[in-house]
Structures are given as C-alpha cells and as structure tokens.
C-alpha cells in the first residue's frame, strides 16, 4: 500500500477513541483503496471546484510565477515515490517546491489568513518534502477567473434555483461578477504559505502508513 500525498491527512486524523490506532476517516480511505486495488471498484470524485482547479492549473502556475517573482516555471509532470508514499508536486525546481490551489471564488480565498488552516495541505506538503528531500515547501492559493463554461453552468444553476425559465440579466450579471476578479490587484489574488520540513511529522507519516498496511491486510482476509 502506497499512500498519495493528498491523502496523508486522512490517515493522520485523530481517532475519537485514544485506544484506536486509526480514525474512521482513515479506515474509510483504506477501505476505498482496498476496493480499488483488489476489486477494481474505483471511487469517482468530481466537483465544479476541482474542475476549475484542473482547468486553470497551468494558468495559475504562470500567474503565481509572475506575481511571486519565480524564475520560469512550468507544471511538473514527474511523479515521486518512496517506500510509503507517492506524489506529484505542481512545481519543483532546484530551489522551489510548491503546490497551487485555485480558489473557487472570493469567499473561499484566504486573503487575510496568517496560517494555513487546511491541515490536509500541511500534511501533503510534508509528504512532498519527504519525497524530494526539500527543506521548504509553498502552498499558493490563486484567485483566478472562473472559466466561461463553468460560469455558464453556474448561471443555469442560479436560474434553476430561482425557478426562472427565461433569462434574468441581473441574475446573470450577479453570478458572473462572483467569478471575475480582474478588478483586484494581482498581489491580492495570491496567498502564499511557507511550510518547513518537520522530521517528526515525517516519522508520523511512516508510522501511520505501516499501521494502515496492517489494517489493509486484515481486509484481504475477506478474499
């Protein structure tokens, strides 16, 4: 069992009962992993939020590079692996390790946050540092304009919720304005969090993956 860096946070959630080694969240992740690897039952995951992130990934990397003064960078396509985890950082150079997140809209963009509140992302970055040997990683939120096709879906969704058949131009304009951030200065559309390598955290990752493997083996007894 090799755990994706994006899933490390699920494994590291604390169980309600301190006598338990794995939380219910961790067990659910391992069960889904088992069904996919042993039974060919893959869990499909899609949302309009992830769709925007995927569509805007390359543009967001370029935008972050311009605002933050990175040297020329492009999307990394190399997957890194070790005995316990696997991951594909968005950006990696000799001196830079970064992951890019495209916020859905202005309300989800952490403009004024001083700490990275999503601990799953903290664990993800620790995983990337473990894989690459880097001592520092960056999580960069970008407030990118939402692609036209997704905005059109949101316009239709808003009309359906309002029970409208004919188009309401005011409603269309209101939805479109929620997804256009061109009027905001570029430096306010980037939020960077820097996370330093934590050897204790990396040791926790190794320990938890080993425990997850033991649980995985108990699941195989049903075969």
| Residue 139 and residue 98 in contact, taking contact as beta carbons nearer than 8 Å | yes
The pLDDT score that the predictor gives to residue 222 is: 82
The pLDDT score that the predictor gives to residue 169 is: 95
Structural domain boundaries of the chain? 3-145+181-222
The pLDDT score that the predictor gives to residue 137 is: 98
Residues 6 or more apart whose Cβ sits within 8 Å of residue 174: 158
**What sign has the CA pseudo-torsion 218, 219, 220, 223?**
positive
Closest to 6 (Cα-Cα) out of 115, 96, 118: 118
Residues 6 or more apart whose Cβ sits within 8 Å of residue 90: 57, 61, 75, 76, 98, 99, 100
Q: Which residues of the chain have pLDDT under 70?
A: none
Measure the CA–CA gap between 214 and 191, rounded to whole angstroms. 39
Phi and psi torsions of 91, nearest 5°: -135, 130
Helices (H), the chain: 8-11, 24-39, 48-68, 119-132, 148-161, 169-177, 199-219
User: Mind listing the pLDDT tens digit for each residue in 211-222?
Assistant: 999 999 999 988
The pLDDT score that the predictor gives to residue 19 is: 85
Measure the CA–CA gap between 49 and 173, rounded to whole angstroms. 20
| CATH (residue range 3-145+181-222) | 3.90.320.10
């Amino acid at each position: 069992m090799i755990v994706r860096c994006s899933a490390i946070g699920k494994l590291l959630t604390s169980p309600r009962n301190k006598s338990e080694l794995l939380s219910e969240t961790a067990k659910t992740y391992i069960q889904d992993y088992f069904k996919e690897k042993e039974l060919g039952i893959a869990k499909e995951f899609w949302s309009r939020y992830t769709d925007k992130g995927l569509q805007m990934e390359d543009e967001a990397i370029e935008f972050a590079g311009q605002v933050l003064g990175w040297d020329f960078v492009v999307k990394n396509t190399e997957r890194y692996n070790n005995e316990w985890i696997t991951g594909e950082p968005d950006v990696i150079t000799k001196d830079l390790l970064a992951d890019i997140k495209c916020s859905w809209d202005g309300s989800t963009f952490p403009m004024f946050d001083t700490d990275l509140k999503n601990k799953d992302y903290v664990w993800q970055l620790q995983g990337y540092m473990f894989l690459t040997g880097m001592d520092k990683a960056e999580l960069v939120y970008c407030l990118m304009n939402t692609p036209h096709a997704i905005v059109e879906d949101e316009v239709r969704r808003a009309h359906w919720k309002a029970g409208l058949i004919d188009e309401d131009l005011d409603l269309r304009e209101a939805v479109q304005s929620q997804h256009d951030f061109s009027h905001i200065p570029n430096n306010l559309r980037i939020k960077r969090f820097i996370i330093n390598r934590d050897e204790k955290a990396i040791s926790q990752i190794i320990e938890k993956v080993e425990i997850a493997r033991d649980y995985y083996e108990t699941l195989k007894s049903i075969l």
